[in-house]
Chains A and B, each alone.
Chain A
Amino acid sequence: MKKAMSEENKPISLTINGSKYSIKADKDTPLLFVLRENIGLCATRYGCGEATCGACTVIIDGQAVMSCDISLGSVTGKSVQTAEGMQAIPNHPLLESFIKHQAGQCGYCLTGILMASKALLEKEPFATRKRIAEVLDSNLCRCGAHARILDAVEEAGKYMRKGL
């Protein structure tokens, strides 16, 4: 019992946007809440808390994951990318393309879409518009910026392929 308690309180280590973090929190806490409240990285957004809207999408070891649906305990030792990490790469084709196409209105859904798109294009650099749309079906947008977002991701893909 004692051992279990100390396991409970053991800080959990993980990497976020290249920096190492050691976090003391209940290991069942969804990663989303840890990012927003324990660490203060608020670009990952709460939309539904039940993995149905995609607003909280982050990249974990190369995979797009909804961070409301994964516990802190299960990301121990893993590498997490959030939208804040994009700030360090301001010329990233996705950012440039989203701005060029003015792809967004209220912008609440955008960070999740950006992360989902980044994970997709890094894995499938030749993803077609149809494929992009199919993958982004996990992300909801209510303002109706979809067409611009598809334009932006499709164009970013072209630039990202050039580097290959």
Chain B
Amino acid sequence: MVPPSPLANAPHLKHWLRLSEEKELIFFTGRVELGQGNTTALLIMIADELDVLPTSIILETARTDLTPNEGITAGSMSITIGGQTLRWVASALKMQFLEIASERLSVKAKDLSISEGYIFNKGKRTEFSLTDFFDRLDLTKKIVDDANPKTFKERRKSFRDINRIDLESCLFGAPFIHDLKFDGMVYGAPVHPPSTYSRLVDLDLEMLKCRPGVIKVVKNGSFVGIIASTSYHAKNALSWARNNGKWESNIKDPVNHLKILKNLDTKPETVIESRDVNKNSGTWFEIIASRPFIYHGSIGPAAAIAKAEKDKITVFTHSQGVFQLRQAIAKVLNTAEEKICVIHKPGSGCYGHNGADDVAFDAVLMAKSVPGLFLKVVWSRFDEFHSSPMGASMVTKSRALLSANNRLVAFDVELNSTPHTNRPSANYPNLRAAGYLANPISPSRTPDVPVERGGGADRNAIPSYEVGGVRVRKRIIYDTPYRTSALRSLGAYCNVVANEALLDSIAKQIEVEPIAFRLDHTTDPRAREILERLDYETKKDRATSNEEGIGWGIGFARYKGSGGYCAVMVKVHVGDNVIVTDAISVSDVGEAVSSDGVKNQVEGGIIQSISWTLKECVPVDGFSATAASWTDYPILKFSEIPNLRTILIDRPEEKPLGAGEISQGPTGAAIVNAVADAIGMHVTNLPITRDAIISTINGGD
């Protein structure tokens, strides 16, 4: 077995665990809880390997002064890589426990085992528990020398049904970064310019300082920070500042990003070209899909706490990458990284690169002017909608060549997208306020995620089928006034919508049943099983509902081409608006460490994707996103939730693949195809609002 990559830079047991004075086993992970149930799944993986109960061990998540650097918690890799690493750690630890016990008991190590924290000899419990041997452990030992993780047959099946460990605290407790409180804490409110291109022209700082409860006002370039004794006072002073300040844009004409995005004339970058796609003869089919900017829209706004002391800055954040945030802050402040400690605390649900890093930097900027005091910043809803990065807007054109015997023999995808990666790092700090400090570090052009890591804008542009030669070309559009970055599934959502709508429309035109057409183009047994199962599960309902306005549609993809498989079938009703009434899904993520955790992620992905596909579009004007409140950006509500049926194909023998991002693309595609089933046209200019449907019927774009 190849050791998981994080063990290369953190090879010893001491990098991954410590023993507390209270005789607790405390494991470290560089991964963070984003609301997806990460910590529960990781604890299950450790406990299963070590043969203890998950409740008997503690897991510390990412902090720069303690845990290994595992990069960003993103891309559905937490279980696949982070969890596998912890299995190796727990295994090496277990081997050492058994070695020590074998010496102590003078029996062979192979006769010994562990169960619920006790040492067993040939199946009989001994007097020793693991804690008896804590002081004999050598944590300087190399993990790869001892680790021998269990085979799937040895794993504890019952652990897969363990509930989320953090749910109760969410129901009546205060587990979020927003809830942290320190003695003498003060509250900060940043007054961000309305767009990254605007600069502060006028704001009476003396008057602002006199607002009730205001302790201090900080100004650096166009960044203004209000420090107040309560968050209510900070909020009121912020409203005053917004109403009385004046900002001007430093560029004249806003770029029409949609015009650029839809212009497919300039030379694209070729991502992959497996064969000449233009050589085969047959019939070409084409479809163009687009998605607007999408907000992350976490219910709790971005928040952070910072404290600046002489030679030390402490930051609490819900960022996805504490080490990367530290590098970025160090770079902008021109400080040594070692002087900054960044600690993760859970925030509201995280779906990608949101405002977490930006608000952390806001807090640092303000905390520096009140040394020794903890300063908390919670962005307003207005800040969330105006200042945080958005999900990228993109256009995907998919073309496919059909041979005379109805086989796809070439596939050609061309896409334009604003960036999907603008995360902070040492080279590209990309912290919002840094762009308009007195000594600004402007946002830079960060390269797209390479294909080897699943791709960024081009993620899932390669269809999950055998379709002959494939060519993928892309253009990353940097020159827009809007800040976009990673949002769940990156380009996969739009690309899967385009590719699956294309397949669907070809199948309709040649009068082949859509699932059969897909099955004709895959020999992958896992893909086939999913499609066949979804067919079986929905066949009866599909056959009996053919009233006016009702449509059924399917979407399928294997995430990143190498991750989890997901097929979704939806039933829609097209009336004044589109309503998804039923969503049935079949997924295969290999080994499901927590079965219900996987289902919860798949369901969440489906519901979020229905919301994106039917409702969401960030209103933009000139240089800035303009939604001021939730009223300007409706998302799916309880009364619009479909009946869900979520089927998980269990493959304990396969490696775990992650579930958080597998269902968004297939769901969007299923809705487009279901609407087409109902009205006879593929509406691919997302979101599928009443206007988009009318525009498609009228032949518009």
Contact = CB atoms under 8 A, between A and B. Distances in A.
Interface of A: 26, 29-30, 33, 36-37, 40, 42-43, 45-50, 52-53, 55, 83-87, 95, 98-99, 102, 104-111, 114, 130, 132-134, 136-137, 139-150
Contact of B349 (A98, A106, A114): A106
A142 B178 contact: no
B638 A136 contact: yes
B577 to A, nearest CB: 15
A33 B232 CA distance: 7
Contacts of B232: 26, 29-30, 33, 37
29 contacts: A26-B232, A29-B230, A30-B232, A33-B230, A36-B179, A43-B173, A45-B299, A46-B378, A47-B381, A48-B301, A48-B629, A50-B381, A53-B299, A98-B167, A99-B171, A102-B164, A105-B35, A105-B601, A106-B34, A107-B170, A108-B170, A109-B299, A114-B172, A130-B639, A133-B639, A137-B637, A142-B608, A142-B635, A146-B607
Contact of B644 (A50, A95, A147): A147
B523 interface: no
A139 B35 contact: no
A48 B630 CA distance: 8
B201 interface: no
Interface in B25-79: 34-37
Contact of B604 (A46, A47, A48, A105): A105
A105 B36 contact: yes
B167 A102 contact: yes
Contacts of B611: 144
Interface in B170-185: 170-176, 178-179, 181
B573 interface: no
A125 to B, nearest CB: 19
Contacts of B641: 133, 146-147, 150
B381 A43 contact: no
Contacts of A107: 35, 166-167, 169-171, 175
Q: Which 7 pairs between the two chains have the least Cβ-Cβ distance?
A: A107-B170, A106-B35, A144-B607, A106-B349, A144-B604, A42-B174, A42-B179
Contacts of A52: 381, 629-631
A43 B381 CA distance: 19
B129 interface: no
Given A47-B300, A47-B301, A137-B637, A142 B163 contact: no
Interface residues of B, number: 61
Kindly name the residue among A46, A83, A140, A143 whose own CB sees the greatest number of chain B CB atoms within 10 A: A143
Interface string B551-564: 00000000000000
A102 B35 CA distance: 13
B344 interface: no
A85 B629 CA distance: 30
Kindly name the residue among A98, A139, A147 whose own CB sees the greatest number of chain B CB atoms within 10 A: A147
Given A37-B231, A49-B235, A102-B167, A139 B378 contact: no
Given A33-B230, A42-B178, A49-B380, A104 B606 contact: no
A46 to B, nearest CB: 6
A54 to B, nearest CB: 9
Nearest to B298: A142
B318 to A, nearest CB: 10
A143 B604 contact: yes
A50 B164 contact: no
Contacts of A141: 299, 638
B504 interface: no
A8 B35 CA distance: 42
B689 interface: no
A153 to B, nearest CB: 10
Contacts of A85: 172
B463 interface: no
A92 to B, nearest CB: 10
A144 B603 contact: yes
Given A43-B174, A48-B381, 4 more contacts: A26-B212, A108-B176, A134-B638, A144-B607
Contacts of A33: 230-232
Contact of B299 (A43, A84, A142): A142
Given A46-B300, A95-B171, A143 B163 contact: no
Given A105-B349, A137-B639, A143 B608 contact: yes
Nearest to B602: A144
Nearest to B35: A106
A108 B299 CA distance: 7
Contact of A148 (B34, B349, B603, B631): B603
Given A86-B172, A150-B638, A55 B300 contact: yes
B235 A110 contact: no
A77 B350 CA distance: 39
Nearest to A94: B171
B600 interface: yes
B168 interface: yes
A30 to B, nearest CB: 7
A143 to B, nearest CB: 4
A108 B596 CA distance: 19
A104 B235 contact: no
Contacts of A98: 167, 171
Contacts of A148: 600, 603
Given A46-B300, A46-B378, A108-B176, A102 B163 contact: yes
A146 B640 CA distance: 10
A5 to B, nearest CB: 15
B148 interface: no
Contacts of B173: 43, 87
B605 A144 contact: yes
B538 interface: no
B600 A105 contact: yes
A102 B347 CA distance: 19
Given A45-B300, A106-B349, A142-B297, A50 B629 contact: yes
B328 to A, nearest CB: 24
Contacts of A110: 170-171
A147 B607 contact: yes
B348 A146 contact: no
A96 to B, nearest CB: 11
Contact of B163 (A30, A99, A105, A149): A99
A99 B164 CA distance: 9
A163 to B, nearest CB: 21
Given A48-B630, A108-B35, A148-B603, A55 B171 contact: no
Contact of A102 (B172, B381, B596): B596
Given A142-B297, A148-B600, A46 B178 contact: yes
A45 B178 contact: yes
Contacts of B347: 106, 108
Contacts of A145: 600, 603-604, 607
Nearest to B385: A48
B167 A108 contact: no
Contacts of B639: 130, 133-134, 137
A45 B171 contact: no
B381 A49 contact: yes
A49 B382 CA distance: 10
Contact of B171 (A30, A37, A48, A114): A114
Given A37-B231, A49-B381, A142-B349, A104 B172 contact: no
A103 to B, nearest CB: 8
Given A107-B167, A108-B299, A109-B299, A146 B638 contact: yes
A108 B603 contact: no
B178 A84 contact: no
B167 A40 contact: no
A36 to B, nearest CB: 8
Nearest to B179: A42
B404 to A, nearest CB: 44
B175 to A, nearest CB: 7
